[in-house]
Amino acid sequence: MKITVPMLAETYKFCLVLAISGGLNVFANMFGFFRSIPVELKESACMDVASIYRTFYTIILPII
């Protein structure tokens, strides 16, 4: 007896689902990483009168 399985990989819906799920996975990983950065680092930059962008470029981005 031969079992046939529909070829999901050849449909546009399947490709769209893969693309969306891959993007959500990256977003979830980056979100979790940014939440794990200690608040003290951000507070120390705030005490040094650094803007949000300066904090990101000089403290958070080098950690990545």
Domain boundaries, the chain: 11-63
φ and ψ at 20, to 5 degrees?
-70, -45
Judged against a pLDDT cut of 80, whether residue 14 lies above it is answered with no
pLDDT of residue 16: 80
What is the rounded CA–CA span in Å between residue 30 and residue 33? 5
What is the rounded CA–CA span in Å between residue 13 and residue 17? 6
What is the rounded CA–CA span in Å between residue 41 and residue 56? 11
C-alpha dist (Å) from residue 18 to 12, 13, 37: 10, 9, 29
Output the pTM of the full model. 0.55
| pLDDT above 70 coverage of the chain, percent | 84
